[in-house]
Amino acid sequence: MVKKIKKISVIKVFPLLLILVFISTGVLVNKSFSPSVALAVHGDFSTLSPTQSNLLSELVDRYLNIQALLASDTIDGVKEEAQLMSDIAGTLKKSDITGVLKTMTDPVIDAISGLQSGDIKNARSSFAGMSDAFVEYVKGFGKKDAKARDIKIKYCPMKKLSWLQMNQEVKNPFYGKMMLTCGSDVEY
pLDDT value of position 23: 44
Residue 154 and residue 171: Cα distance in Å, rounded? 9
CA-nearest of 172, 166, 68, 75 to 118 is 75
What pTM did the predictor assign?
A: 0.77
Domain locations in the chain as residue ranges: 47-186
DSSP code, position 175: T
Distances (CA, A) of 7 to 11, 38, 50, 51, 137: 12, 32, 51, 52, 42
pLDDT value of position 30: 39
Q: Is residue 38 within 8 Å of residue 99, measured between CB atoms?
A: no
Q: Which residue has the higher pLDDT, 106 or 41?
A: 106
Over residues 57-110, the pLDDT tens digits come to: 999 999 999 999 999 999 999 999 999 999 999 999 999 999 999 999 999 999
